[in-house]
A and B are shown apart, each in its own frame.
Chain A
């Protein structure tokens, strides 16, 4: 096991909805190490999205400690959180969240725009490399509306990769995709993970979670189960064995 990237201790998050207090997280402890590939599972309302928002530095916990790559996040300001998101975290969303009327390449460049150390030329090469890594180098100048759902999600993955983050967080990355494309996207995650990138995905589908190395299940704001996946599914092999769909069936 490598070094710990995400270390969460007794994490509590309470929302106030008018007079009612909602306990989204009630003491969560979890460690995610380098090169891990974890799936956060649970029904809606189980607290998994809140957990994701907190480890993604989009939200701060009410109580408890969260160390991201050794940095205590709980005490950081908004701007410091933004910098952390920029340098250490790559996001992938269910609805892709690409900027419309902006080319794939420029979408991938977006995180680099907020990283002052990077020159325009480096920006371009790094973005092209990231697109290459998700197999979309030839689509660099297409707009999101000219790309299929799977391709859009791959652009989003490239965007999450481009700033060389310590962890990629994917929130229901296959939620808007059909089965084949889902396996395709999971294949990309598996490939990236093999290259040494730490990935955490949120999903409620067990067959998607089966592609990961570790499944963590939430219920009512607590982790009820954390297991190693015995024999993860292999996306590459499954895709190879899948019958190619005829044109009319697509």
Chain B
């Protein structure tokens, strides 16, 4: 039988039982729509997490000293004081994969402006910190290495600090505040960045030259951590290896000894976060796929009923020369049409539902072509898989028995 005629015959027999066809299709429609919507939600959350992480800079490496121990009592991670400014210098000189590196110290400081005061974190870093973190200023300028060398009392403050010390729309560049009673000149305001993925307010900071914070505020000689950026994202593993080698040599550790520091990259954090949302996506899609599977069983059920009902028709067709293959194809195409049409409607509804979720619930939603293609292919595969058995049953009927069937 020609394909055109097969399609015509299949469409006609589906049209004969409109209600039944629709209800059978409904199983597939719901299945496909829910797969699309679930994947859209999963993908959406994954992408928004990735977007948040990439604002932190994707080629960033963080180097922390390991936990110290005194007399067998281990202290918290990062408490070791073995990391010094010489380590930074060594890495700058000997690691070609590193674009920028800055030491980092953090202290908490009480900020005072007139009768207003505010407590927040004070970071001591090199000027290239702004390059590493891709941090921009809305007004003023970044301090220089000269400010660092002279431990200059200048600082850059975040928007939250501005609001709390000067009022919402103020531009306090040029003004002075006191940090732990030491007067600092404000030379810049950072761009508003909002919360990071852990809910921390990234605008509630004071950034000052490294030496200023280390010597004037904290009065220590070690550094708490380092922040570096690789030349490109692809060079992160090289950068990490180079840092390991340099620091181990510097700290007199053999190649087989455990390092006394930890290197963490944004990629690690990003991978962790996307893995979590990936698991969520798989979970949601699996549940949705089960409904698609149930829809497939619905097709099989109805096709079996249909084969029994139309035994006589099959007999007639066979008596006028239909081969088993022709009958098989006829029923298979009916099953396929149900699942394809159902898939098509399901995709439409799935996309609409996803948009509705995005608009009403304000969830991040991403519909990918892959998810549409995949659920479409999956639903046709289900049509063929569950249509096969009834179609084969029809094809194997004996024409004499089929003609006699009442």
Chain A residues with a Cβ under 8 A of chain B: 53, 56, 58-59, 78-79, 82-83, 85-87, 91, 93, 97-99, 101-102, 110-111, 113-116, 120, 159, 163
Given contacts A97-B316, A99-B316, A116-B2, 11 further A-B pairs with CB under 8 A are: A58-B318, A58-B400, A59-B400, A78-B323, A83-B321, A91-B320, A97-B403, A98-B316, A110-B320, A113-B1, A159-B320
Q: Which of A53, A85, A120, A163 has the most CB of B within 10 A?
A: A85
Q: Closest B-chain residue to A77, C-beta based?
A: B323
CB-CB < 8 A to A98: which residues of B?
Answer: 316
- B319 and A85 contact, CB distance less than 8 A: yes
Cβ-based interface call for B322 (8 A): yes
Q: Mark B12-33, 1 if CB is under 8 A from A, else 0.
A: 1000100000000000000000
- Which chain A residue has the least Cβ–Cβ distance from B320? A111
Instruction: Across the A-B interface, give the 6 residue pairs with the lowest CB-CB distance, nearest first.
Output: A86-B321, A111-B320, A82-B323, A114-B321, A79-B323, A85-B321
Asked whether any CB of chain A lies closer than 8 Å to the CB of B5, the reply is: yes
> CA of A115 to CA of B313 in the docked complex: distance in angstroms?
18
B342 on the interface (CB 8 Å rule)? no
Query: Is B312 close to A, CB under 8 A?
Result: yes
A82, B403: Cβ atoms closer than 8 Å = no
* 11 pairs of residues in contact across A and B, judged by CB atoms under 8 Å: A58-B400, A82-B318, A82-B326, A83-B321, A93-B403, A97-B316, A99-B316, A114-B322, A114-B323, A116-B2, A120-B4
Residue contact A114 to B16, C-beta cutoff 8 Å = no
Complex CA gap A56/B325 in Å reads 20
Per-residue contact bits, chain B 369-401, to A (CB 8 Å; 1 contact, 0 not): 000000000000000000000000000000110
Cross-chain contact B1 with A58 (CB below 8 angstroms): no
Q: Which of B4, B313, B326, B399 contacts A114 (CB 8 A)?
A: B326
> Which B positions have Cβ atoms within 8 angstroms of A?
1-2, 4-5, 9, 12, 16, 312-313, 315-326, 399-400, 403
Identify which of A93, A97, A102, A115 contacts B321 (C-beta below 8 A).
A115
- Evaluate whether A79 and B325 lie within 8 angstroms (CB atoms) in the complex, with A99-B313, A113-B1 already known: yes
Interface of B is mostly: helix
Shortest A78–chain B CB gap in Å is 6
Residue of B nearest to A110 (CB): B320
Q: Which residue of A lies closest to B325 (CB)?
A: A79
Q: Enumerate chain B residues within 8 angstroms of A82, measured Cβ to Cβ.
A: 318, 321-324, 326
Contacts of A85 in B (CB 8 A): 318-321
- Which of A83, A93, A110 touches B317 (beta carbons < 8 Å)? A110
Cross-chain contact B320 with A114 (CB below 8 angstroms): yes
Cα–Cα distance between A85 and B324 once the two chains are bound (Å): 13
A102 to B320, CA, bound (A): 16
- In the bound complex, residues from chain B placing their C-beta under 8 Å from that of A79 are 323-325
How long is the Cα–Cα vector from A86 to B325 in the complex, in angstroms? 14
> Nearest B residue to A59 by beta-carbon distance?
B400
Query: When chains A and B are docked, how far (Å) is the Cα of A101 from the Cα of B400?
Result: 23
Residues of A within 8 A of B9 (CB): 113
Q: A78-B324, A113-B1, A114-B1 known; A58 and B316 CB under 8 Å?
A: no
B312 contact from A56, A97, A111, Cβ within 8 A: A97
Among A59, A78, A87: residue with most chain B CB under 10 A? A78
Docked Cα-Cα span, A53 to B402, in Å, equals 13
Whole-angstrom distance between the Cβ of B366 and the nearest chain A Cβ: 46
Question: Contact between B320 and A86 (Cβ–Cβ < 8 Å)?
Answer: yes
